Structure 1
Amino acid sequence: MKNIILLPACTIILFVLASCSTIDDIVTATPYLQELKNSECLSSFYDTDSRNGDQDNTEHGLFQMWYGADLSTVSCKFSSLEYPCDFEKVNIKILFSDNALTIIEYPSSDNADCRCLVDAEFTINNLPSGDFLLKIYRGDTSGNYNPDKPTLVGNGRSITSGEIMKVKYPF
């Protein structure tokens, strides 16, 4: 009697373990976001205010990207994103399909009449080997974006380990 109960129980356990392994393989087969951090409001202004030369500073309005030693991990930073003062946090969504890595950045809220400059840093793990297209979009507060109007497009493998790609990122 014990063998009759033990056989179905073992079969169910093996099925569950095999299913988890398959899910892990699917999850680890695509790039994913890790360690998203954003600053508080670095400076604020109203649309009619001057930004006190912030646009002329080389560290403002940049997208930076640098690879880890194995080239399957990349660290990224947006410097001085212009967000509404009630932004709450910077959100980043990562998509990968048709050999294109898509990054969408967007605020949590957009009801304030003043603007903030905010930085955001994050890591993307499990990048594919070889070349891929990098597309960056600014989304609305729900993360929706216009796929026909990327803010930045480039080769995702245009730099090697140890180099830093710095690209002017529009406000």
Structure 2
Amino acid sequence: MSDPNDLAAFLASAWQHLQRGVADRRAPARYPTFATVSPDGVPEARTVALRRASRSEGCVEIHTDLVTPKVTALRASPRAALHVWVPRADMQIRLTTTVTILTGTHVDDAWAQVPAASRVSYGTVPDPGLPIDHVYAYDKPVDRTRFAVLRCAIDHIDLVELGARHRRAAFVRTDGWAGTWLAP
């Protein structure tokens, strides 16, 4: 068994879960909860699909339609939180991020990787979240101009492991992710 007091190993295990979430659609980290605050101050949380996780850059990415409420919220305040629960590891991963909304030619490579069947997620008419007359009163044409990548630069990571003895640590970008143990 590895040293339970090894902060670097604890952080590495969280990154393994995040990277597995990108590679494996059945992994718990594939679908984190993404939370923002609306322009009028209301907390909003939704499930998203994790599309990229880069430990070296300290960022994760998700794809979205430019006209969703989450983009409206991020334009008002570019801060977001992501939450992942990994049941088999009894691990909670919380990320606090600063989000950059990428569009146009900046996302050509990402768009090229989106399967044709999934491209209908970008262009819903009427816009996502607007009222409709009945359950299927919408269309899903592909609209490449509405595709965006949300690059979430991680500022803070909070890890909790609920084993026989709970462990909790915080990691921040500003100290090079050195880490600090916290009371769970």
Shorter-normalised TM range: under 0.3
Q: Which one has a larger percent helix, Structure 1 or Structure 2?
A: 2
Greater relative contact order structure (CA < 8 Å, 6+ sep): 1
> Which structure has the greater CA radius of gyration?
1
Taking structure 2 as the reference length, the TM-score comes to 0.26
Taking structure 1 as the reference length, the TM-score comes to 0.27
